[in-house]
Amino acid sequence: MIQQSPAKTKSFLKAINKAAMQKCSDIAKQIEDTTQEEMQRAEDEARRDGHLKIEAAKSKIEAQAKLKVALYENEKKKEIYSKRSAYQQEVFALAKAKLQAFAASDAYTDFLEKRLNELSNKVGKNLTFKVRNDDTFAQSAIQKTYPTAAIETDPTITIGAFKVIDQDKNILIDETLDAGLENQLDWFLLHSKLKVEV
């Protein structure tokens, strides 16, 4: 059996202790580094999650604000449309009343005769005229200018003048004051400066 001197044993134990201490120090450093990395990763994740939550909350608030603005604008547009519609109805009711007064005046006969004369270039001989119920002015003017034409009443004509159907050419010409007033609606909306903008 080999015997070692106490000094060698002591030196051997000291070397083992030193190696063990170094190993412990290395492990402690590794644990500290790993802990630091994990802590940094956790902080980064928390920041990222916090940022995402803030962005999500911000997006939600913006979406709610946009919805409120859109609802408000929509409500205001409805109010403006309603006011514009009421104004338009008032204006066209006044225009209709003036046209009805015109259709009851002597100037109406001159107007009808002029329209009927202008019509002669566009139509043939086989004609049917449609007039407002009880419109004796129109019936007289038509009989005078087109004595062979048929004359019928049309309940859709409420103001005056006439529609004519050319049976040979298969055409309908609408010369009613009703159609003239209706055709003015688009012009009125375009030129009245009553556009709806919010």
Predicted pLDDT of residue 177:
95
Q: Is the pTM of this model over 0.85?
A: no
Long-range contacts of 103-106 (CB under 8 A, 24+ apart): 103/132, 103/135, 103/137, 103/159, 103/160, 103/161, 103/177
Separation between Cα atoms, residue 104 and residue 175, nearest integer Å? 17
Predicted pLDDT of residue 45:
86
CATH of domain 96-191: 3.30.2320.30
DSSP state of 192: S
Structure tokens that stand for 108 in this block: 């109406």
Predicted pLDDT of residue 196:
54
- H/E segment holding residue 153: strand 150-153
Separation between Cα atoms, residue 20 and residue 103, nearest integer Å? 121
Q: Contact 175/163 with Cβ under 8 angstroms? A: yes
The angle at the Cα of 141, spanning 139 to 147, to the nearest 5 degrees, equals 80
Predicted pLDDT of residue 123:
93
Structure tokens that stand for 87 in this block: 């104004």
Query: Helix, strand, or coil here: 163?
Result: strand
Rounded to whole angstroms, what are the CA distances from 175 to 15, 87, 110? 122, 26, 14
Q: What is the pLDDT along the chain (198 residues), one digit of tens a residue?
A: 556 677 777 777 777 878 778 887 888 888 888 888 888 888 888 888 888 888 888 888 888 888 888 888 888 778 777 877 787 788 888 889 999 999 999 999 999 999 999 998 899 899 999 999 999 999 999 999 999 999 999 999 999 999 999 999 999 999 999 999 988 887 777 766 665 554
